[in-house]
Amino acid sequence: MTYSTLRLCSGRAAFEAVPRPKLSLDLGQIRGRLERAGIPVTDARVLLIARMEREVTVARDGRILIKSADAPEAARILARLRSLIDLPA
């Protein structure tokens, strides 16, 4: 499993990472890991909104949206998130 390169969303205020192939994530487990790391999480049933350095949305199918217009910052946040929730590199 790999993630496509971070790409700037059409609104240019966020970057999106899309897994290939799609995943089926256990959002309850991810929420627990993030909260144990001290990261506030809002559970919106079909996705999680984590308040890291920037707001990060994690969808059940593995898509990740990072609200930052800065590519290096988005890449750092994605790397940290992936290690926290144990997503493959």
Instruction: Report the residue count for the chain.
Output: 89
Model pLDDT, residue 4: 65
pLDDT for residue 55 = 97
Tally of domains within the chain: 1
**The predicted structure's pLDDT at residue 21:** 84
Distance (Å, whole) CA 56 – CA 87: 15
What is the per-residue pLDDT for 22? 82
How crowded is residue 27: how many other Cβ atoms within 10 Å of its Cβ?
18
The pLDDT of residue 20: 85
What integer pLDDT is reported at residue 86 of this predicted model?
A: 85
Whichever domain contains 80, its CATH number is: 3.30.310.10
Compute mean pLDDT per 10 residues along the chain, 89 residues long, and list them: 66 85 91 97 95 96 92 93 84
- Which residue range is the domain that position 40 belongs to? 2-85
Residue for token pair 């390169």: 5
Output the pTM of the full model: 0.87
